[in-house]
C-alpha cells in the first residue's frame, strides 16, 4: 500500500487522538511532503518490530519531549501512554528521569562558571 500524507495523517489521528499536535493537520495541508518525511522518520525511529517494546519507546520519547520542552509532543505521548495502559507510576518515573536529565545538563553547562570561581 502506497504511503500518502492522507494515510499518515489518518494513522496519526488514530494513534494520538486528542493528543495529535495542532501542527500536524496544518502540515498535511501546507506541506504534505514534509508530513510524509515525518511519517517515514517515525517508522524508522519507532519500528513495530524493534528491539524495544512499544511502551518503552513511548516512555523514551515522552522523557525526551519533557526534557526538551515540547508541549505538543508531551501531550501526544501522554495520550499514547494512556492508550497503551502504561501505569501512572511509570509515567511519573519517566518525569523524574527527564527532570534529572535537565538538571545534569545545567551542571554540565556550568563548567565555564565553575572554572572562574
- List helix spans (H) across the chain: 5-16, 23-30, 32-45, 54-68, 71-84, 88-109, 111-116
pLDDT at res. 1: 60
Question: Domains of the chain (ranges plus CATH)?
Answer: 1-45 (1.20.1290.10), 50-117 (1.20.1290.10)
Please state the rounded mean pLDDT for residues 44-73.
94
Distances 108 to 72, 104, 114 between C-alpha atoms, Å:
27, 6, 10
Tell me how many degrees the CA angle 15-47-88 measures, rounded to the nearest 5: 55
For CA atoms 83, 53, 72, 11, give the dihedral sign: negative
- Asked if residue 67 lies in contact with residue 103, where contact means CB atoms within 8 angstroms, the answer is no
Q: What is the pLDDT of residues 5-57, one digit of tens each?
A: 999 999 999 888 888 999 999 999 999 999 999 999 988 998 889 999 999 99
Amino acid at each position: 500500500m502506497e504511503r500518502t500524507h492522507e494515510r499518515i495523517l489518518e494513522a496519526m489521528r488514530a494513534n494520538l487522538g486528542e493528543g495529535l499536535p495542532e501542527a500536524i493537520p496544518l502540515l498535511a495541508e501546507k506541506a504534505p511532503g514534509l508530513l510524509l518525511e515525518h511519517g517515514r522518520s517515525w517508522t524508522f525511529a519507532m519500528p513495530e518490530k524493534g528491539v524495544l517494546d512499544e511502551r518503552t519507546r513511548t516512555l523514551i520519547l515522552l522523557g525526551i519531549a519533557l526534557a526538551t520542552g515540547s508541549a505538543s509532543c508531551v501531550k501526544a505521548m501522554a495520550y499514547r501512554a494512556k492508550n497503551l495502559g502504561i501505569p501512572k507510576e511509570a509515567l511519573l518515573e519517566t518525569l523524574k528521569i527527564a527532570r534529572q536529565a535537565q538538571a545534569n545538563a545545567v551542571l554540565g553547562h556550568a563548567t565555564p562558571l565553575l572554572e572562574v570561581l
